[in-house]
Structures are given as C-alpha cells and as structure tokens.
Structure 1
Amino acid sequence: MIEVKVLGTGCANCKATQKLIEKVCSDNAIPISIEKIEDTAQIMSYGIMSTPGVVVDGKIAHAGGIPDAKTVLSWFKSQCCPTDNDCC
C-alpha cells in the first residue's frame, strides 16, 4: 500500500487535491493509504512552504496549487506497475 499525505490547513485547494488523488487512485485500482495533515508545524517539518503539499511514501511529490490528474498518476506509476509503466 502506498502512503500518501496531503499537507494543508484545510483550504479548498487542499480538499480538492485530496479528492483528486483519491479519484485517480480509485479509477486506476492503485491501493493507497491517505492521511490529511493540517498542523502547521508538521507541514513545515516537510519543508513545504506552499500548500497543498503531497508526500508519497515519504518523498515530497508536490507543493502549491492543485495538480492535474496526469501528474497525480505519474506519482504512482512506478509503485503500481514496476515492470510496465503503461499499465495504469
């Protein structure tokens, strides 16, 4: 299972980013565990200065603004299909 953290204080962009990640993963049968982090100190501990931030398996994948679906899918391609990056 891929661990995803959405970092943000609860603004509309952060909520939209979380919903987009959930939809992309659901549509592509990518198993994730998603956590929303709203604590400012925790967010800053990742070095994220612009929200929403997204951390995938401990690595910063995105910061600032709502990503598009293609970008979200690219974060998971290597995890969901390690031998064929066209599978999902």
Structure 2
Amino acid sequence: MKFEILGSGCTKCKRLYDNVVEAVKKAGIQADVIKIEDMGEIVSRGILMPPSLFMDGEEVFSGRVPSVNEIIEVVKGA
C-alpha cells in the first residue's frame, strides 16, 4: 500500500502526514508514506485544494485533514 500526501509543506500537510503514519501503525499494515511538496507534481495531478491524500494512486481526501480514524476506515475498505 502506498500513501502520498500532496501539499506545500504547511501545517495542515504535516498534520496529515502524522495522521497517516499513525493510522498505518494502528491498522497494523505495511505501507509507504510519501510527502510530495513539488508544486509541478501537485498541479499535474489537478489538486485544487491541498492537502490531498492519495492511496495507491487514487485521491481519497482533498482540502482537509482527515482524522486518524477516517484514514483507518479508508484503509479497511481497500
């Protein structure tokens, strides 16, 4: 499983990264968690409201920081 956090490196982006890391740990799964702060990459993916969270190439959250529990629910549904 691969998670990508796309954003400028702002406080929300950092909090999203921390929430994803915690959700992965709590869910007991193996996953790569990557931060993407390159504006060219963010724009090329059509992100209008960062931060955005992608799971295995699919956008699952955008424009807000989901809670750890919300992220776990998405992981369980995968």
Tell whether the structures are fold-level matches, with TM greater than 0.5: yes
Alignment correspondent of 1:29: 28
Q: Tell me whether 1:72 sits opposite 2:71 in the alignment.
A: yes
Residue 14 (structure 2) pairs with residue 15 (structure 1): yes
Identity over the aligned pairs, expressed in percent? 27
Amino acid at match of 2:38: D
Letter in 2 for 1:8: G
CA distance, structure 1, for counterparts of residue 49 and residue 5 of structure 2: 12
Give the superposition deviation at 1:78: 3.3
Q: What does the per-residue CA deviation read over 1:10-29, in whole Å, with 9 as the maximum and x for residues that have no partner? A: 00000000000100110121
Amino acid at match of 2:23: V
Unpaired runs of 5+ residues, structure 1, are: 80-88
TM-score by length of 1: 0.82
Greater shift, 3-12 or 63-72, is seen at 63-72
Alpha-carbon deviation of 1:8? 0.4
| Secondary structure, counterpart of 1:6 in structure 2 | strand
C-alpha RMSD of the superposition: 1.0
* In 2: Cα distance, 1:44 partner to 1:74 partner: 27
Higher relative contact order (CA 8 A, sep 6+): 2
Tell me which stretches of 4 or more aligned residues in structure 1 moved more than 2 Å: none
How far 1:71 sits from its partner (Å)?
1.5
Structure number with greater Rg is: 1
